[in-house]
Structure 1
């Protein structure tokens, strides 16, 4: 058994809360630090299916990437999806902890996992956020190099095959070969101009809109939209592995289980 506080302490080392953006809401969102559990579920979203999985598995802690609560709540209505989910968590003594933009930024977090999955090497900072107390620079995204240049169509196919998605959308800015790639997991279209200024041949992110694509072409930058889910879900298994290893290093005992059943909300026909 481990306490929720012991997991919070581990997560603070893996993804310091100080890295999180001001608008974000990471941390313990439901439950008590004193809550104990012999099993932990790691997921991208705290969905009804994930809550049911935690109940069935006897888990009393869910560690998610996306916070299930973003804004102040003035009431808790159990006839709403969120209110019903929170009531079910409380009923079964299940705590919820989230690491969001701090896990995007942290070394070994969402963007490093994404970069490794799609074949980038020699990673450097992209969208610098600041420096930590040790003077180390930290950034929201990453930029790296492919071993060999390739066409945007070939790289898009490589990304599709590497990620948990059945499709990607790509924007071609001409015959420019792709070798230097910038990326930002989730929803990062706002950084298209920064990727172009950095000299990237292509930019990988999710949630790209029509006029974002138009702007990228004007800047001579290829763009691949692999979806919010596709660019972030790979961190779930990685975080499960790192949590399990950290528990072992500390002589603590708890099973850590990854959600493997969740799927993208979007389908293509």
Structure 2
């Protein structure tokens, strides 16, 4: 039986918490990482009803996309739905774990890649890459080179180079270091792993890590890709409504142009509209657009608002796939509680 920590560590190997936005609260919200995880309920929102569901199923873990505690709590007296959910989880030894914008911001096995898969998009790439690339410089003995050339790419490093000749380096403390110069570029969330690997293969190596200004192609907001074949706008919207299982699609006026390039963003994505426009998307699929934001399409693309919940609903399946791939015998339950606060007539 895995521990809570083992499950969360695997999730964070896909979507490190360092990738989350500054306003977010992803991570373990209640519970002890050392607990054995008996079973888990996966959901979008860890409401009190979902906690009840977990208890009834004998689960001591709830894995949610949205953090139930988003802003700081000053009191815990059960006066609102957040406090009631947290109190119930604590009283019943239920761990609540949230994997939010860190899962939004990864290309591989992220929220937006699941949407793109559902829409059958091809040639996908991050819509708005983030400046989360880092570079490690180290001076290592020759005997450590081959092992690191194998281990670092497997760990996710995007670029690994080394000098063929020994080099001498004097650090700020005027200490002399000699060895092969190793240069490794990687996404910021991988820093602990990359540093650990270098120290494992070369314990006495001098190393330094620096932030790079260039963006990381696999980390960022939204996704953009192409349909296998162009579609008429109305046909695309009808198919979108069907495959995304939404009650309605709010959209800007149709432009009478074929739809080939589609940008997507799970949740509230209006902040990415300028990126979708710059990259010549024909349609931008997201949720939570405000009235005046629809005007910003300005006749250049079609905004298709399918709803916040609807755009992220397949995240539950995604998390199930990620966890089952590592822990095939661990009991997972997809919530049967509808947590979407929006209803349609």
Return the TM-score normalized by structure 1: 0.93
| 2:301 counterpart (221, 227, 230) | 221
Point out where structure 2 has 5 or more consecutive residues left out of the alignment.
135-156, 158-185, 187-215
2:319 paired residue number: 239
Taking the aligned partners of 1:86 and 1:156, their CA distance within structure 2 comes to: 39
* Larger fraction in strand: 2
Taking the aligned partners of 1:184 and 1:72, their CA distance within structure 2 comes to: 26
Does residue 159 in structure 1 map to residue 240 in structure 2? Answer: yes
Deviation at 1:242, TM superposition (A): 1.6
Taking the aligned partners of 2:12 and 2:38, their CA distance within structure 1 comes to: 20
The answer to whether the 8 Å contact 1:129/1:139 transfers is yes
Does residue 21 in structure 1 map to residue 24 in structure 2? Answer: no
Taking the aligned partners of 2:78 and 2:253, their CA distance within structure 1 comes to: 47
Taking only aligned residues, the RMSD between alpha carbons, in angstroms, comes to: 1.5
Deviation at 1:131, TM superposition (A): 3.4
Is the partner of 2:293 in helix, strand or coil?
Answer: helix
Q: How many residues align?
A: 264
Taking the aligned partners of 1:55 and 1:4, their CA distance within structure 2 comes to: 16
Taking the aligned partners of 1:23 and 1:129, their CA distance within structure 2 comes to: 16
1:259 paired residue number: 335
Taking the aligned partners of 1:52 and 1:92, their CA distance within structure 2 comes to: 10
Matched ranges for 1:1-269 at <5 A: 1-106=1-106, 107-133=108-134, 134=157, 135=186, 136-137=216-217, 138-216=219-297, 218-248=298-328, 253-262=329-338, 264-269=340-345
Higher gyration radius (CA): 2
Deviation at 1:97, TM superposition (A): 0.6
Deviation at 1:130, TM superposition (A): 2.5
2:191 paired residue number: none
Is the partner of 1:184 in helix, strand or coil?
Answer: strand
Taking the aligned partners of 2:12 and 2:242, their CA distance within structure 1 comes to: 32
Is the partner of 1:175 in helix, strand or coil?
Answer: coil
Taking the aligned partners of 1:22 and 1:97, their CA distance within structure 2 comes to: 18
Q: 1:113 to 1:177 in 2, by over 3 A?
A: same
Structure 1 moving runs of 4+ over 6 Å? none
The answer to whether the 8 Å contact 1:156/1:168 transfers is yes
Return the TM-score normalized by structure 2: 0.73
Point out where structure 1 has 5 or more consecutive residues left out of the alignment.
none
The answer to whether the 8 Å contact 1:44/1:64 transfers is yes
Q: Deviations over 1:127-162 (max 9, x none)?
A: 112234533521211000011111221111111111
The answer to whether the 8 Å contact 1:193/1:219 transfers is no
